[in-house]
Amino acid sequence: MIAGGTGFDNGLSGTYSSKCAGCAGNLTYDTSIGALVCHQCGKVYDSQSMEETGSFGLAFREKEYAEGEPVDTEDLDKVEYVCDSCGAQIITDKRTTATFCSFCGSPTLISRRLTRQFKPDMIIPFKIDKERAMDLYDEFVSSAKSVPKDFRSAKVRERLSGIYMPVWLVGADCITDVTASGKRKDGDMVYSHDLSRVISYSLADVPFTGSGKMSQRLLEAVEPFDLTEAVEFNTSLLQGFYAYKYDNLPERMIDKIEERFNIYGEEFGKNGFDGLYEVRSDNYITALRRVNVRYCMVPVWFMCYEYEGLYYHFVINGQTGEVCGRLPEKDSFFARIVKKAGKFTPALVSAGVAVLLMFPAWLFLRELYPEDPELFWMYLLITLSVIFGASFIIVYKFAYISYVRRQLAKESEKNPHELDRRPPVEQYLVYDGKIEMENRDRFGAAMKVTGDMNNRNYHFF
């Protein structure tokens, strides 16, 4: 694949002797996308012709202001806040003040002039106002069962902040190589095929979070954003809202970008089988060409709340109202016992019941055998064992087992606000672009199936 390359023949990454034409950084062969990549500026080169075939880098790189260096006139209308406790850096317009850190809740914010230019390529304005955001939060909280009281309080919902998050919109021409083996049944014949396809398509504007303050999972969970509503950035849009500064450049997150494009390549490749085959040992490799990145601010209502030492995040897409988050669940009394006492719970609960019922049993038996202490104690012991045994069976069968089943069901059932969901590949597919599939499927063998289900004979042709 690579002419004269040393160290690449085994498919491993290595440093190429050539330098990046853009920044003179070292080029690395990236097996995942099948091209040479400069990890310094993000440029992508064809490994044979050495032609530049795209870039993970930004077309315009914001300049850092040195100390004492005058801030550009277009940045004079903005102010930067830094959180003393978590280091979050937010930007807003001069008329908007920040009173607490929307990420960690700390009230110690230090304001200063901008330390870096602020020039996103575009911005999607908020469509969901705070009232609506708080309603959506209330709906979310009431849809969850037994949330700790804190989360229902006005104090917490008031903390929802309107934040423009920096995202990198990545597009590329993708070539997905699919190899698999497929079986197709037709009557009593089974046909096996070697499936091999090369699919070419383009994905556009796949979002990646540029701020460590918002995880990629949360972003994917509230996607998609409608880019037709994106406008050119102007500071007036920041009024009443905050913008997080990016702290990670797209050329530093090539691995993450490739990972998502690979998942999409697999999804796209799987769709191509159309359910015709029973597919086995499938393998997908997605190469990227003409990579391009745009810098966009997207609107989200964001809340972070610390509860019992853990941070809980809640996000609303400020354009579509899509909600995502995770809330702690308040444990019921029984759940607390089960957690503490584990599998011994039925026995412990039954022992408790038996002890409680011992007093009436003791009174009753004392009436029956006032003169015979030995019989009295014997019967009391038998009564206790019967009570314990019976309540053990009841607690075990009806409470404990059903509790464990409910817990298992809860874990397997998908929460509507589950974090692990991302839009399907179709969301980012360029439909008016070229979508091609080169089919190199090869017929392997045909087999005749005879005999009954338990005694099948395959006859090769």
| Binding-site ranges for Zn ion (CB under 5 A) | 20, 22-23, 25, 38, 40-41, 43, 83, 86, 88, 101, 103-104, 106
191: enclosing H helix or E strand:
strand 189-209
CB of 58 to Zn ion, least distance (A): 13
Q: What is the CA radius of gyration of the chain?
A: 32
**CA distances to 190, 262, 450, 452 from 456, in Å:** 12, 39, 6, 6
Least separation, in Å, of the C-beta of 18 and Zn ion? Answer: 11
Specify the residue, 168 or 392, whose C-beta has the smaller distance to Zn ion. Answer: 168
Q: Which two tokens stand for residue 429?
A: 């597919």
Question: Nearer to Zn ion by C-beta: 52 or 62?
Answer: 52
Whose Cβ is closer to Zn ion: residue 192's or residue 292's? 292
Minimum CB separation of residue 242 from Zn ion in Å reads: 12
Helix (H) / strand (E) containing 283 = strand 278-307
Nearer to Zn ion, 41 or 300 (CB): 41
What are the distances in angstroms from CA 309 to CA 87, 99, 312, 328, 339?
A: 19, 23, 10, 11, 19
Q: What sign for the dihedral angle of Cα 326, 331, 337, 343?
A: negative
Shortest Cβ 45–Zn ion spacing (Å):
9
Query: Closer CB to Zn ion, residue 18 or residue 283?
Result: 18
Cα–Cα distances in Å, from 151 out to 28, 69, 104, 145, 410? 48, 45, 15, 12, 21
Look-up: residue for tokens 């090369």? 198
- Closest approach of Cβ 218 to Zn ion, in Å? 17
Name residue 381's amino acid: L
Asked if residue 330 lies in contact with residue 148, where contact means CB atoms within 8 angstroms, the answer is yes
At which residue do the structure tokens 């509503």 appear? 229
Tell me the backbone φ, ψ of residue 198, rounded to 5 degrees. -120, 115
Cβ 103 to Zn ion shortest distance, Å:
5
> Which of 251/266 has CB closer to Zn ion?
251
The C-alpha atoms of residue 204 and residue 138 are separated, in whole angstroms, by: 34
- Least distance in angstroms from the C-beta of 252 to Zn ion: 13
* Nearest residue (CB) to Zn ion, 19 versus 184: 19
